Amino acid sequence: MIAVVAATYVFFLLFAEFALLHLMEARATDSASLQFGLAWLGGGGVLGSLLAARLATSFPLRRAIVSGFLACGAAATLAALMPATAALEPVAALTGLGLGWLTVNLAGNLHRLLAGAPLGLCTGAGTGLAYAFCNLPPVFASSPVGHAWISAAACTLGALAACALSPAEPAATAPGPEQRSTFWLLLGACVALVWLDSAAFLLIQERPELRALTWATAPQLWTNASVHLAAALLAGWLLDRGLLRLVLALAGADLLAASFALAHGGTAAIRLHLLYPLGVSLYSTALVALPALSRSWPGSLRPTWSAAWLYVMAGWIGSALGIGMALDQRTIPGAFLLAAGGSLSVVLLGSLRGRRASATAAGALGLMALCASAPRSLGADRAVQADQSDREIIAAGRAVYIAEGCIHCHSQFVRPGPTDELYWGPSRPLSEMLKEEPPLPGNRRQGPDLQNVGNRRSPDWNRIHLQEPRTLVPGSAMPGYAHLFGTGDVRGEALVAYLASLGADTTEARARLVDAWVPPSVTGAPARGAALFASLCASCHGPGGRGRGPLAQRLAVPPADLVTGPRPRTTRSTAEATRIALARVVRFGVPATAMAGHETLPAEDAAALTAFVTELTLPASPK
């Protein structure tokens, strides 16, 4: 049964929520055509959910679940095989129809399928394993077509596992204190949670700096997988002890904090982003188990109808509201977060009963919708204005780049092949560059290639480097451009914005290249590393590595204290794994921070610098 739950969630996460959307987006000629495809997906999901509840007694349960897997697998297979010019609306409709049918038949009968087993823990195990699997680096890094094939394989395994199911009627349970109205109250809370989750997910997708923070490297993905699995198991354990409200309340607190941090970015996102996977797995486990858990409440709906309404309202409508709000507002409005927090707090008010509970839930969701939609036109105008302003600033920066003759020393064309791509990031077809007006391939490469500099150097680093090149790169031949940053002169900041835009969409591809690099086996010389550290690193980290260099106060994210730590980006279970992780940071830097890499450093020097920094982690007197 755990395998059936896991296979269902793998299909939902990898294909319905990710691969299908990317495949439709690649075919869409405008936003309206993409929205049309999403409407087919959502419409199919609603129809499939309601049909499953309506026909629950007309089909043997095992046959219903197997047919749902077959429909979902067929959708994934079609998407993988169809030519790039084919419309995917029929596939979207089949995906929604199959997924709606499958989830309602499965969740609405968990009490029969898990009779005699701990329902919460089994549900948590299936949910957590699915999230963990989807965050495995090889799986996550696969292409949309690869995700479609993986999803089809998951559906095949799910169908085979479903053939072995033996539904049984569980022993009768004594009616609890809950009422039918409580189900609708908790359904409202689930709508709020899915709404928050979908909005936060889209923000991470749309913002390169958030992707770099959460999904860019293998260690980040392994951490996400571990958090997902642990949180789902914890949720299942709590559910088996009758603590459903506590699970939803914890999930709400985590998602509210994570949504606030992701919307505002900066240090808040760095510190709190792991609350997002924690909250997602907590509420996802409860979402699967709720129909079965509510079956014994006096006056409750039949579990299949509970599942249908839950997934129609929360799964399909809630996610559409979250995605629509994030697309429209380009953020999660603070007023919406306050309203969501208020509505979720209702879950803790166990004294509410009957009409008061239903009215409170409806009113809370109405307030959320008002907060999300009332400023929508103003928010949309501001978003459009901001986009227009950003484009104008970047265009102005490009003009500065041309006027100052940057093209004479820097190329913007990474040659295909391992050497260039390892140094400067992923290449792109020459035809794309030739579409620019004017093209900027560069006359000769005296300095580094800048095609992807936006994911190799932060705006902080570029700003300081433009003004004081030799402060960051000793011996650099680059002239200073401090005159561009004079009072009232906007050219400097425009140039920084233009550099930040270069390669901003290749963060994930760059991360995969970095993660695949294994440092050569060269013995490090700490004494040589100390000299390199003083030359290359002390300006930010300080001469003793305590993060107190002369440039530290000019950086948005303070440099790391390399002596006392903690250093989660490079600390691993073995000394060799730690050395490799640290060598990657030395060679390639840390995305979304001012920690720049030293891409062209000779292997012997990189090993020496790595050895010296490794010794800084040993107990030492403060310097």
CATH number, span 517-616: 1.10.760.10
Distance CA 13, CA 386 (A): 32
Query: How does DSSP assign 368-400, residue by residue?
Result: HHHHHHTTHHHHHHHHHHHHHHHHHHHHHHHHH
The total of other beta-carbon atoms located within 10 Å of residue 138's CB is 10
pLDDT above 90: residue 70: yes
**Domain spanning 381-509: CATH 1.10.760.10:** yes
pLDDT of 377: 42
Tokens in use for 201? 């997910």
**Least-confidence region, from 356-365, 418-427, 462-471:** 356-365
Tokens in use for 429? 């077809």
Supply angle C-alpha 292, 296, 300, rounded to 5: 85
Helix or strand (DSSP H, E) at 367: helix 354-373
List, in order, residues 6 or more apart from 457 with CB less than 8 Å away.
465, 499, 589, 596
Average pLDDT, the chain: 81
**Least-confidence region, from 382-391, 488-497, 603-612:** 382-391
Tokens in use for 295? 């079956």
Supply angle C-alpha 108, 109, 113, rounded to 5: 155
CATH number, span 1-169: 1.20.1250.20
Phi/psi at 436 (5° precision): -75, 155
Supply angle C-alpha 467, 470, 473, rounded to 5: 115
pLDDT of 382: 45
Q: How far, CA to CA in Å, does 520 sit from each of 390, 525, 579, 580, 587?
A: 42, 14, 11, 9, 12
Better-predicted residue by pLDDT, 267 or 24: 24
Distance CA 244, CA 236 (A): 9
Tokens in use for 244? 């459903």
Phi/psi at 489 (5° precision): -95, 120
pLDDT tens digit sequence for 488-516: 788 888 899 899 989 877 877 888 888 88
Distance CA 264, CA 71 (A): 41
pLDDT above 70: residue 145: yes
Q: Over range 567-580, report the average pLDDT.
A: 81
| pTM across the whole model | 0.61
Tokens in use for 612? 């010296």
The interaxial angle of helices 244-264 and 275-293, nearest 10 deg, is 150
As a dihedral over the C-alpha atoms of residue 31, residue 36, residue 39, residue 40, rounded to 10 degrees, the angle is: -140
pLDDT tens digit sequence for 158-217: 999 988 888 776 655 555 555 555 777 788 888 888 888 888 887 777 665 666 667 767
Q: Over range 217-239, report the average pLDDT.
A: 89
Phi/psi at 596 (5° precision): -85, 155
pLDDT > 90: percent of the chain? 20
pLDDT above 70: residue 619: no
Closest CA to 399 of 502, 505, 491, 500: 491
Domain boundaries, the chain: 1-169, 177-374, 381-509, 517-616
Q: How far is CA 432 from the centre of its chain?
A: 28
HSE-up of residue 137 (Cα within 13 Å, Cβ side): 16
Distance CA 249, CA 478 (A): 55
**Rg of the chain, C-alpha, whole Å:** 27
Q: Over range 67-77, report the average pLDDT.
A: 93
pLDDT tens digit sequence for 292-335: 888 776 556 688 888 888 888 888 888 887 777 776 666 777 77
Q: Burial code of 373-394, b = ≥16 C-beta within 10 A, e = fewer?
A: bebbeebeeebeeeeeeeeebb
Q: Over range 105-123, report the average pLDDT.
A: 86
Q: Over range 47-54, report the average pLDDT.
A: 90
Domain pair 177-374 / 517-616, same fold: no
pLDDT of 299: 58
In sequence order, the β-bridge partners of residue 589 are 596
pLDDT above 70: residue 378: no
Distance CA 561, CA 315 (A): 44
pLDDT of 124: 92
pLDDT of 380: 44
Q: CATH fold of 177-374, please?
A: Growth Hormone; Chain: A; (1.20.1250)
Per the CB < 8 A criterion, the answer to whether 208 and 507 are in contact is yes
Closest CA to 278 of 307, 311, 256: 256
Tokens in use for 251? 């999930």
